Amino acid sequence: MTENQLIYLVIIGLLGPIIIFVITRRLKTVERQRKQSFRKRKTIGSTQTETPLDNPLQSLRADAMESIETRFSIIETMTVIVLGTLWVAVLIVPFLNFIPATLVSVFLGSTAVISGIAARPVIENFIAGIIITFNKPFRVGDTVIIDEQYGTIEDITTTHTILKIWDWRRLVIPNSQMITKEFINYTINDTFVWQKVGFKVAYDTDLETLKRLCLEIAKQSPNYSDYENPTFWVMGLEEHYYKCWIATWSDNPAKAWELGNDIRSGLVMAFQQNDIHAHDYQVTMKQ
């Protein structure tokens, strides 16, 4: 062994463990931050429902904390293995001349085949899981719409994401697909939702009366938040009716779900009581 090789081994031998130590410490710090962020979340869930479970939110919180811990534990272990392998590979670079070229070729070829064919889906999903973990496009407990399915992110593993749909079914999506999907996240920055309800009415409907009824119905809902008054718009003029929107604030997606139901139910009853019709055809038939 030459002097240069000895210096190389000493430098790489010391540098490798330091790099592994720094990265694993950083992973621990990020894990603590994720746990603290989740503990601070006050509202979790896409709908307000009674469930067969005794404490569904408590169970979700406990499962989420365990999921975060497990996910980071796996990432940390794989990081140590990969970095350790790279460290050993760099250490033996000066001594490659002493290893038969055939042996090196067979080893690299076998590794490429296994990684490229057998382990490709696992590797893709694992890498995607790491990207999701650190990029944070969504978190456990977020209310989202994915593939036209409305629900709550129940779990994020290193290979797949589980969406608990509003009717308690589970949609399991590989992480390699999750990083390419377009979706709506209702709670990525805050939990407030400006709930909108659209409807149509016949042209013989008095607009002032309609507006007054809509604003009263929205304010009467227990899920309405009075950050500002509800807003009423006429959104379109069609041949037999005109289209309207009523929009107002709610504190979180679960309350917004109920607020939408309250407004729609209130509109139906108000239309029946005030003889308001959806289009001119109904008015003509009644006359």
Residue 177 has pLDDT above 60, yes or no: yes
Final residue before a domain boundary, out of 85, 118, 135: 135
Residue 28 has pLDDT above 80, yes or no: yes
pLDDT score of 230:
95
pLDDT score of 170:
94
Q: How far apart are CA 206 and CA 276, in angstroms?
A: 9
DSSP 177-198: HHTT---EESSSS---EEEEEE
Q: What percentage of the chain has pLDDT greater than the value 90?
A: 39
pLDDT score of 141:
86
Whether 188 is covered by a domain: the verdict is no
Whether 151 is covered by a domain: the verdict is no
More confident residue, 285 or 59: 59
Whether 224 is covered by a domain: the verdict is yes
Residue 137 has pLDDT above 70, yes or no: yes
Note whether 108 and 10 are same-domain residues. Answer: yes
Binned at pLDDT 50, 70 and 90, residue 270 comes out as very high
Residue 239: φ, ψ to 5°: -65, -40
Final residue before a domain boundary, out of 114, 135, 156: 135
More confident residue, 108 or 157: 157
pLDDT score of 97:
67
Final residue before a domain boundary, out of 101, 135, 169: 135
Whether 84 is covered by a domain: the verdict is yes
Residue 211 has pLDDT above 70, yes or no: yes
Whether 170 is covered by a domain: the verdict is no
More confident residue, 82 or 103: 82
Can you give the residue range of the structural domain that contains 122?
3-135
pLDDT score of 81:
86
Instruction: Assign residue 250 the CATH number of its domain.
Output: 3.30.70.100
More confident residue, 126 or 113: 126
More confident residue, 215 or 286: 215
Residue 155 has pLDDT above 60, yes or no: yes
Question: Average pLDDT over the chain, rounded to whole?
Answer: 85
Question: CA angle 44-260-55, nearest 5°?
Answer: 30
Note whether 201 and 82 are same-domain residues. Answer: no
Whether 243 is covered by a domain: the verdict is yes
Residue 269 has pLDDT above 80, yes or no: yes
Whether 172 is covered by a domain: the verdict is no
Note whether 121 and 198 are same-domain residues. Answer: no
More confident residue, 172 or 282: 172
Residue 277 has pLDDT above 60, yes or no: yes
pLDDT score of 44:
76
Whether 17 is covered by a domain: the verdict is yes
Q: How far apart are CA 131 and CA 136, in angstroms?
A: 8
Note whether 131 and 198 are same-domain residues. Answer: no
Task: Dig out the tokens for 239 from the structure.
Answer: 């041949």
Identify the bridge partners of residue 142 per DSSP, sorted by sequence position: none
Q: How far apart are CA 138 and CA 34, in angstroms?
A: 12
Note whether 22 and 127 are same-domain residues. Answer: yes
pLDDT score of 15:
86
pLDDT score of 283:
53
Note whether 128 and 198 are same-domain residues. Answer: no
Total of domains in the chain: 2
Helices (H), 40-118: 56-91, 101-113
pLDDT by residue (tens digit) across 223-257? Answer: 999 889 999 999 999 988 999 999 999 999 999 99
Torsion-angle region of 258 (φ positive above 0: left; ψ -120 to 50: alpha; else: beta): alpha
Binned at pLDDT 50, 70 and 90, residue 90 comes out as confident
Residue 153 has pLDDT above 60, yes or no: yes
Q: Tell me if 250 sits within 8 A of 223, measured CB to CB.
A: yes
